[in-house]
Structure 1
Amino acid sequence: MIQVLAALAPIIALIALGHQMRSKRWVGDEFWAPAEWATFHLFLPALLVASLARARLEGLPVGTIFAVETGVVLVMAAVTGLAAKGLARPPWSLDGPAFTSVFQCVIRPNTYVALALGAGLWGRQGVALVAVCTAAVIPLVNLLSTLAMLHWARKEGRLGWRDAVLPVVTNPLILSCALGAAINVSGFGLPPVAASILDILGGASLPLALLSIGAGIRLEALRRPGPAVWLSIIAKMIALPLLAFAALKFAGLSGVALAACGIYAALPASPASYVTARRMGGDAALVATILSAQTIAGALILPLWLLALGVG
């Protein structure tokens, strides 16, 4: 219990600090967009490249992790997609753009929180496992989210391959995972100077990412959370991890690998959901509300999952 609280306390504290910094205007609003851009395009990719390049992948069940993590996401995406017509009726009354908000927030994991939690609980091994999960899940959820937006949110135009594929192949997280894995498999390793630069850049990723998450929380939007918000929390942070833990256990994983890869499925949704909704015609306001609700709920749900696994 003490280990869990010790790992979660800095994460919660930085998220709360980020919310305070924005709500009290300690820094101007113009600070956050460049900070988020730098985190997503520079700092976090540096951390992922360095982590995967150094990871001892030969000792990790990489194939099993890929199969389970992608499998449970596909199952949850299929179930959610099949529920679209039912969710269009009362009491849900979700139109196409609103449904895509729920869809995205049910399958997209917040890699920032995952890396911070993995590092706090299991050190380099935890970061390596989270990086493997990221390499498996992020390309898939980007593709599925883009297809969902094009199908349910956009009313005009055709589904072009560029619309579906380009956001996936140009995603910095995906590219950094591919580069780190390639360096690892090559056996050459990182040159000392490059390793030092990546370590310095990567060191800025998690603090800035967590502050940005906190800055994005809108407490005023949570005064009357609608049924879609509760549905997203139950599906993303209870049903999906329950499915993942069962599949991982069935596949033979145990110990740190089971805990780290299982908790990856229980994470609150990624802020990328908001960006995608805003750019592709989704309900960005609903996404913002869901992200805030899931982030706050995570402070209670994630410790319960870890305690259920016997961590700490």
Structure 2
Amino acid sequence: MLTILAAIAPNFLLILLGWLLRARHVLDGPFWLQTEKLTYFVLFPALLVTNLAEARLDGLPVAAILGAHGLGITLVLGLLVLPLRFLSPRLRADGPAFTSVLQGAVRPNTYVGFAIAAAIWGPHGVTVTALASSLVIPLVNLYCVTALIRWGSGGGKRGLGATVLAIAKNPLILACVIGAALNVSGIGLPPIVGPLLKILAQASLALGLLCVGAGLEFSALRGAHGPVAAVLGLKLAVMPLAVGALAWSFGLTGTTLAVTVTYAALPVAANAYILARQLGGDHALTAAIITASTMAAAVSLPVVTLLIGYLP
């Protein structure tokens, strides 16, 4: 347990540092806005490309890893999240709030995932995380944008064609496609460009975690207890259980199983807030969900990681 805590704690201390730097006005809003853009559009895509392009997939159960995540997300969404739209009085009357719950239930913070995988499991953990993200990022964006078009207050005004184009131009999706293409083609990372991408990738996790902390909004938690509690249960407990059960049934074991389940147990990604603002979701509720899940994950992730260690 102490080993796991020692590996995970620095990542959450970086998140805390990001919050302190903004709360104490050491670095103010404009800095964080530009840093988030840099991380989202440049640094994190560089991390995805480099890891996917150089991932050694020989002997790796690719179909089982992708199947566990894809099927797990789809089942949780279809069997548990969508019924909330009709069973919860608040969510039945408030479509934008429902889209925030949906995003919170399925959207993982991959910055945290990569940092923890690297700290605990090293290169193999990073490879499995990159592989999982290559499916989860496009799939989750597809589900979330579709929900915002259907239930958001302004998503429908954007138009289906423009929304599909926005998904296709998403920098994280493009990075996954490019990295996978470089891997499958056997090209790998080209000279000059490859080392440049690696340098950029090294900066992505620290800056990404600092931005996660800077984006925490504790004031948003007031009055949002019901939806926030629902998301915490779905994202931090039900999702890892569903993905873990599927992964185990597909034959995953050891480190590969541990990384797969941990990726499913990550807190909610900060870009859920950006999407909520762009497409008419309840961005205040989304901020509360991101904040609460990040705080709760500081406790739940070590527990999940420890419990996985007892699996055969």
Band of TM-score, shorter chain? over 0.9
| SS at 2:192 equivalent | helix
The CA deviation at 1:82 is 2.4
Contact 1:142 1:167 in 2 (8 A): no
Quote the residue 1:24 is aligned against.
24
Give the match for residue 300 of structure 2: 301
Q: How big is the alpha-carbon RMSD for the aligned residues of Structure 1 and Structure 2?
A: 1.7
Counterpart of 1:197 in 2: which secondary structure? helix
Query: Cα distance, 1:2 vs. partner?
Result: 2.8
Whether contact under 8 Å (1:146, 1:163) holds in the other structure is no
1:242 match? 241
Tell me the equivalent position of 1:83: 84
Query: Following TM superposition, by how much is the alpha carbon of 1:77 offset from its aligned partner in structure 2, in angstroms?
Result: 1.5
Structure 1: how far apart are the matches of 2:19 and 2:156? 39
Count of matched residue pairs: 309
Instruction: State the TM-score, normalizing by the size of structure 1.
Output: 0.94
Post-superposition shift, 1:181? 1.3
Give deviations 1:255-299, integer Å, cap 9, x for gaps. 111010111111111111101111111110000011000000000
1:188-228 deviations in Å (ceiling 9; x for gaps):
22234222111110011000000000001122333555111
Counterparts of 2:228 and 2:155 in 1: how far apart (Å)?
A: 28
Corresponding position of 2:138? 139
Partners of 2:233 and 2:216 in 1: CA distance: 19
Distance in 2 separating the partners of 1:247 and 1:102: 23
Give the percent of matched residue pairs that are identical in Structure 1 and Structure 2: 42
Contact 2:99–2:152 (CA under 8 A) maintained in structure 1: yes
Retained in 2: the 8 A contact 1:43–1:202?
Answer: yes
* Partner SS state of residue 297, structure 1: helix
Query: Would you say the 8 A contact 1:133–1:261 is kept in 2?
Result: yes
Q: Deviations over 1:68-117 (max 9, x none)?
A: 11111111111211220112x16x67611111110110011111111111
Pairwise CA distance, 1:6 = 2.0
Gaps of 5+ in 2: none
Q: Which amino acid aligns with 1:259?
A: A
**Counterpart secondary structure, 1:113:** helix
- Pairwise CA distance, 1:184: 1.2
Structure 2 CA distance for partners of 1:295 and 1:188, relative to 1, 3 Å: same
1:272 is matched with 271
Q: Which runs of 5 or more structure 1 residues have no equivalent in the other structure?
A: none
- Provide the secondary structure at the position in 1 that maps to 2:58: helix
Report the alpha carbon displacement of residue 177 of structure 1 after superposing the two structures with TM.
1.3
Matched, 1:109 2:103: no
Deviates more, 1:159-168 or 1:23-32: 159-168
Q: What secondary structure, in the 3-state scheme, does the structure 1 residue paired with 2:206 have?
A: helix
Q: Distance in 2 between matches of 1:225 and 1:283?
A: 11
Cα offset for 1:233? 0.2
Distance in 1 of aligned mates of 2:52 and 2:170: 17
Partner residue, 1:126? 125
2:251 aligned partner:
252
What's the TM-score once normalised by structure 2's chain length? 0.94
Residue number in structure 2 paired with 1:211? 210
Q: Which residue of 2 aligns with 1:11?
A: 11
User: What is the distance in 2 between the residues matched to 1:72 and 1:168?
Assistant: 22
In 2 relative to 1, CA 46–156 (structure 1 residues): closer, same or farther, beyond 3 Å? Answer: closer
Q: CA deviation at 1:66?
A: 1.4
C-alpha distance in 2 between matches for 1:75 and 1:165? 23
In 2, Cα distance between equivalents of 1:34 and 1:8: 27
